[in-house]
Amino acid sequence: MGKVMAVVPAAGVGSRMGTNVKKQYLNLIDKPVLLHTLEVLETCPDISGMVLVVAPGEEALCRSMVQGRGFTKIMAVVPGGDHRQTSVYHGLMALPADTALVVIHDGARPLVRAAEISRAVQAAAENGAAALAVPVKDTVKVVNEQGLVVHTPPRSTLWAVQTPQVFRYELINKAHLAAREAGQLATDDCALVEALGHPVKLVPGSYENIKITTPEDLVLAEAFLRRRE
């Protein structure tokens, strides 16, 4: 399959969490959210190495946070940018030239399981681009600026996409470069690959693989982790 490298964007400010400490450094049971995430990636047998992307100026803090915890796969800690997309791009630029597949996984998704990552890697090896996702449970409305509903897409067509999102290295590099040139800003990496017209395979994931975004997500994450103990 070739070398599989992970990029872990963890350079966000966590404005929707609203805490003084950024959400990726908040304690979740016994350690920061980001350490949970990195430990799962470390144990995934498919992954050879990782690039961690943190806010500019936080590189030393992160290096000391991971030091002495038995990580063998963290190859670099690099500064991110103002948007998630920019942070991922900085991570991609730090990958070795012999990378075959790139696993992009949010630092703020600590509940992913190694087996789920492996399923996404396998699908990307076959299709070029793949992501974990779950069927949407709620009915979703498209609204206009006045808050009036303009459209109700059929729920059977809707999936909530998660990370990891996994891509062939040349494909994701090409997608990010094209987006930068076009001024396209997306909230996930699949959207950039979709914009190239390349198909993206969705791999059924788990409803437990939540992104820590708002305070109630920490309550849920703790409950899920305790259930696994």
Ligand X SMILES: C[C@](O)(CO)[C@H](O)COP(=O)(O)O
Ligand Y SMILES: Nc1ccn([C@@H]2O[C@H](COP(=O)(O)OP(=O)(O)OP(=O)(O)O)[C@@H](O)[C@H]2O)c(=O)n1
Q: Computed from CA positions of residues 56, 181, 50, 220, in that sequence, does the dihedral angle turn out positive or negative? A: positive
By CB under 6 A, residue 36 contacts ligand Y: no
Q: Which of residues 3-32 bind ligand Y (CB under 6 A)?
A: 9-16, 24
* C-beta contacts of 159-162 below 8 A and 24+ residues apart: 159/133, 159/134, 159/135, 159/202, 160/133, 160/134, 160/135, 160/136, 161/131, 161/132, 161/133, 161/188, 161/190, 161/202, 162/109, 162/112, 162/131, 162/132, 162/133, 162/134, 162/205, 162/209, 162/211
Closer Cβ to ligand X, 2 or 158, answer by number: 158
By CB under 6 A, residue 188 contacts ligand Y: no
Q: How far is the CB of 70 from ligand X (least distance, A)?
A: 27
Closer Cβ to ligand X, 31 or 211, answer by number: 211
Q: b/e for 72-87, b at 16 or more Cβ within 10 A?
A: ebbbebbebbeebbbb
Judged by CB under 6 A, which stretch of 95-103, 104-112, 143-151, 190-198 contacts ligand Y?
A: 104-112
Q: How far is the CB of 11 from ligand X (least distance, A)?
A: 11
By CB under 6 A, residue 213 contacts ligand Y: yes
* Contact set with ligand X (CB under 6 A): 84, 106, 161-163, 187-188, 211, 213
Q: Binding mask 41-80 vs ligand Y (x if CB under 6 A, - otherwise)?
A: ------------x--------------------------x
For residue 77 the two structure tokens come to 């800690």
Instruction: Give me the residues that bind ligand Y (CB under 6 A), please.
Output: 9-16, 24, 53, 80-84, 87, 106-108, 211, 213
